[in-house]
Amino acid sequence: MNLTIPDILFGLFAVVSLLCGVIVVYSRNIVHSGFALLGTFAGVAGLYGLLSMTFLAAAQILVYVGGVLIVILFAIMLTRGIENTGQSNPSRGVLPATILGVIAAALLIYVAVTFPWQVKTPAEIEASVPPLGNALLGAYVVPFEALSLLLLAALVGAVMLVRKEIKSDEEEVKS
Amino acid sequence: MTLTIGLPAFLVVAALLFVLGMICVLTRRNAIGLLMGVELILNSANINLVAFARYVENGISGQVFALFVIVLAAAEAAIAMAIVLAIYRSYKNIDVNLTVNLKE
């Protein structure tokens, strides 16, 4: 079996994302978990790139690493005191969950490897952005608009959730 | 210079990532740690969508739905963090086992 450079890259990305995933799950320090999530997101972005989904890889980096991860790290810093890093991310029932996970993984991998997928010969590597844009504003325009509405609602909702408490604090100060 | 490994390799990576996320959701007591598990699960689902779009379906819909999942994950993270901060303000703690007022 000849290993090409993309194959080696696939192995690299897969190992990085899975090892960082293990750190996310088993680390006792929530800050370590948060930073290991960066490796997982970056590895998954690399996998998208290998599948020639370049726009998705860029979106993964921009949205997950640039957005979701920053929000998570901010939440870590705003809630749990960083001074308590020894046991800031407690787990319960790690061993039974791990056993369950191993069983589930064995089952899923068995299905993934043995099922006769109808694999077509992969299409030529092509720029994925123009067809994606056409699809988003053509066949998928209604879900696309619904999604933009959802993002607006999430933004307003997040502001409302956090603002309510500040307002009640001010009222307490006044009274 | 093409990828010689096929669809099952990607599915195996996605399955392992999903299982890791599942263990994380099952065991974590810190609400933020729990959310990290949810992110892992969403990422594994996305790998599946993209791999099937490349190898089986050869169309655009897999990519579109992967993109939708990414956007939904971002919205979910924003809302969840706002809720976590609100819980932290009232409980001074985000341990999910301590916030059980409705149960009592």
Would you list the DSSP string of A39-68? HHHHHHHHHHHHTT-HHHHHHIIIIIIIII
State yes or no: pLDDT of B57 exceeds 80. Answer: no
Whole-model pTM: value is 0.87
Where do runs of H (alpha helix) occur along A27-140?
30-50, 54-59, 69-78, 94-114, 129-136
CATH topology of domain B9-91: Helix Hairpins (1.10.287)
Q: For position A38, what pLDDT does the model report?
A: 93
- A31, A56, A124, best to mutate vs chain B, most B CBs in 10 Å: A56
A-chain residues near B86 (CB < 8 A): 161-162, 164-165
Determine, for residues B81 and A75 on separate chains, whether the beta-carbon distance falls below 8 Å: yes
Say if residue B47's pLDDT is above 90.
yes
ipTM above 0.95, yes or no: no
| CB-CB under 8 Å, A67 with B77 | yes
pLDDT, block means (10 residues), chain A with 175 residues: 80 94 89 91 92 89 90 83 62 87 94 85 68 88 93 90 63 56
Q: Quote the Cα angle for B56-B61-B64, to 5°.
A: 130
Domain ranges for chain A: 1-85, 128-175
Is the Cβ of B49 closer than 8 Å to some Cβ of chain A? no
**Closest CA–CA distance from residue B88 to any residue of chain A (Å):** 6
Lowest mean pLDDT segment, chosen from A16-25, A109-118, B1-10, B48-57: B1-10
Q: How far is A79 from chain B (nearest CA, A)?
A: 6
Contacting residues of A for B40, CB less than 8 Å apart: 21, 24-25, 40
- Best of B17, B19, B48, B57 to disrupt the A interface (most A CBs within 10 Å) is B19
Q: What is the nearest CA distance from B21 to chain A, expressed in angstroms?
A: 7
Instruction: Specify which of A113-117, B36-40, B99-103 reaches the highest per-range mean pLDDT.
Output: B36-40
Whether residues B28 and A155 touch (CB distance < 8 A) is answered with no
CA distance B18 to B24: 10
CB-based contact B8 A92, cutoff 8 Å: no
pLDDT tops 90 at residue B30: no
CATH code 1.10.10.10 for A1-85: no
Taking each helix axis from N to C terminus, what angle separates A30-50 and A5-26, rounded to the nearest 10 degrees?
160
Instruction: Parse chain B into domains and list their residue ranges.
Output: 9-91
pLDDT-derived band at B97, boundaries 50, 70, 90: confident
> Residue A85's pLDDT is what?
56
